[in-house]
Amino acid sequence: MTHPYQIVILGGGSAGWMTAAALSKVLDQQKYRITLVESAAIGTVSVGEATIPGIREFNQLLEINEDEFLRETNGSFKLGIAFENWQNIGDFYMHPFGPYGVTLHGVHFHHYYLRHQREQGEADAMPLSDLNLEWRAAIEHKFTRPIADKRSPLGHIKYAYHFDALKYAQYLKKYATARGVVALDDRMVEAKQQVKHGPIDALMLEKNGELAGDFFIDCSGFKALLIGEALDVSYHDWRKWMPCDSAVALPGQHDNADILPYTRSIAHHEGWRWRIPLQHRTGEGWVYSSRFTDSEKAEREFRDTIGNHDSKANHLRWINGRRDQAWRHNCAAIGLSAGFIEPLESTGLQLTQSGIMRLISLLPGQGELSERAAAFNRFTAEEITNIRDFVMCHYKLTNRDDSEFWRYCRDMEIPDSLQQRLDLYQENASVFRNSNNELFNEISWFSMFQGQGLRPANVHPLAEQMPAATLQQHLQTIQRVFAQSVAQLPTHEQFIKEHCKAP
């Protein structure tokens, strides 16, 4: 391999600077040179970003100080996602990040809870929120990091963050450039290739001229200037299963005096809206389908709902789907250029992060790249397809018929991969991950199935063996321990004030 090996990243924002930061951390600067091209003339939409726990692993890889990072990004903590009005208007459930109860005799806890619910009746069964530490802490507006005593439930708290996405990109830019990444404020004119749609030799830039590279990373967002335009990689459009393809974003006020430690996802008559609590404001977004409403009507209804009639709105459009190949020739797409699933389950940065980690594990360099590219593409496709099915299920499992949009979602045909999951769960409450590459586990699937009203005919046979009195006592013990644990926690607001309050 010639030295230094030239890696060129096209595009900044969260995807570009996460990629640059991670590569600058793990690569030998004597052997690799990283250049990132972004144009200040191209605006970046700054909205609140909601994440899932994997982001902590990414920040830990970078050895970022968590308190400093949260101060710099006006960030807060997140214990889960609340879903309101999804199965029926007035319903509420949560997708918490931590487990329910404890696994018994090798059988996931949800089988025991479903048995309890069947025997007691849903109205008299113990609230599911009492059996999940993160859910209980979230609705009581409490938070702490995991404590040192791992015998306590508080030693295993699972959490993620809310933060300002633009500030996060700026924070990582400082991190990456301090480690040798070269940042060019420029715009690409064209990609130089000896053969049309063949390997990329260089980028022609408006101000800096020709920028040669050995490997190129496309972080140009939905425009996909390299993977889509230069390399002509096709895109799988999944809007027939995921019709929400548009959003309006506005700044909002906090829900109350406290900063909530969870994201709110509130279904409305033609889609849903997000509420992402940052330290200085709550990010508000109105998600809808352009097939069923137009942007002017969506913005008007959104403003009427939240009472914001003054701030300038950001309008966003996307196509739910993925590239046929996220790595072709000497170019890999990371972030929106590789594919996108609407923000319902906060998977945007997770897809960016997992793409980066795959790229590091299959690091391009000297020699043939085809097998590495094939593996990258296979794992990328598997991951985003599984996320698609999980998000799609929220729409399919609804009783709502108050609009053409919800009737379409309820009645739409779904892919076999999702139908098989539904059939298996309905038969005996089983949830299987298709691969180790799958993001959402049985906690996530059970949370969504239970919250959306799907009830299985049976549970695992081993869960039936425990005497009813023993099961009841076991649930009561968990309920008591979790209640006592949460009672001693500070409020989320207090924890932020003490550890990571932004200036």
| pLDDT tens-digit readout, 331-374 | 999 999 999 999 999 999 999 999 999 999 998 877 788 999 99
Domain that holds residue 362: 5-76+163-238+319-385
CA-based nearest residue to 374, from 335, 340, 324, 417? 324
The answer on 218 and 367 residing in a single domain is yes
Mean pLDDT within 22-39: 96
* 329 lies in some domain: yes
Read off the pLDDT of residues 204-223 as tens digits, 9 standing for 90 and up: 999 999 999 999 999 999 99
Mean pLDDT within 293-297: 97
* 497 lies in some domain: no
The CATH number for 212's domain is 3.50.50.60
What is the per-residue pLDDT for 87? 97
Q: Is 345 assigned to a binding site?
A: yes
* 126 lies in some domain: yes
* 434 lies in some domain: yes
Distance, in Å, from the CA atom of 365 to the CA atom of 423, rounded to the nearest integer, reads 45
Classify 101 in phi/psi space as left (phi over 0), alpha (psi -120 to 50) or beta: left
The answer on 401 and 350 residing in a single domain is no
The pTM score is 0.95
* 81 lies in some domain: no
What is the per-residue pLDDT for 308? 84
When divided into structural domains, the chain yields a total of 3
**Per the residue annotation, which of 25, 31, 78, 142 is the catalytic one?**
78
* 84 lies in some domain: no
Spatial contact of 136 and 486, defined as CB atoms under 8 Å apart: yes
Read off the pLDDT of residues 378-403 as tens digits, 9 standing for 90 and up: 999 999 999 999 999 999 999 999 99
The answer on 117 and 34 residing in a single domain is no
Kindly tell me if the per-residue pLDDT of 39 is higher than 70.
yes
The answer on 423 and 360 residing in a single domain is no
User: Which is it for strands 76-78 and 160-164: parallel, antiparallel or unpaired?
Assistant: antiparallel
The answer on 227 and 147 residing in a single domain is no
Q: Is 335 assigned to a binding site?
A: no
Q: Is 106 assigned to a binding site?
A: no
The answer on 399 and 466 residing in a single domain is yes
159: Cβ contacts below 8 Å, ≥ 6 apart = 53, 56, 77, 78, 79, 97, 134, 143, 145, 261
Domain finish residue from 333, 365, 385: 385
Domain finish residue from 261, 284, 316: 316
378: Cβ contacts below 8 Å, ≥ 6 apart = none
Q: Is 442 assigned to a binding site?
A: no
The answer on 392 and 480 residing in a single domain is yes
The answer on 470 and 396 residing in a single domain is yes
User: Which is it for strands 215-218 and 331-333: parallel, antiparallel or unpaired?
Assistant: parallel
* 502 lies in some domain: no
The answer on 477 and 402 residing in a single domain is yes
Kindly tell me if the per-residue pLDDT of 251 is higher than 90.
no
Tokens found for residue 213: 């590279």
Spatial contact of 94 and 262, defined as CB atoms under 8 Å apart: yes
The answer on 453 and 424 residing in a single domain is yes
The answer on 420 and 275 residing in a single domain is no
Residues in a beta bridge with 249: 285, 314
Read off the pLDDT of residues 481-502 as tens digits, 9 standing for 90 and up: 999 999 999 999 999 999 999 9
Kindly tell me if the per-residue pLDDT of 257 is higher than 80.
no
Active site residue 297: no
What is the per-residue pLDDT for 202? 98
* 120 lies in some domain: yes
Distance, in Å, from the CA atom of 158 to the CA atom of 215, rounded to the nearest integer, reads 36
Tokens found for residue 452: 């959306």
Q: Is 336 assigned to a binding site?
A: yes
- Among 53-62, 186-195, 366-375, 470-479, where is mean pLDDT lowest? 366-375
Domain finish residue from 362, 385, 408: 385
The answer on 144 and 44 residing in a single domain is no
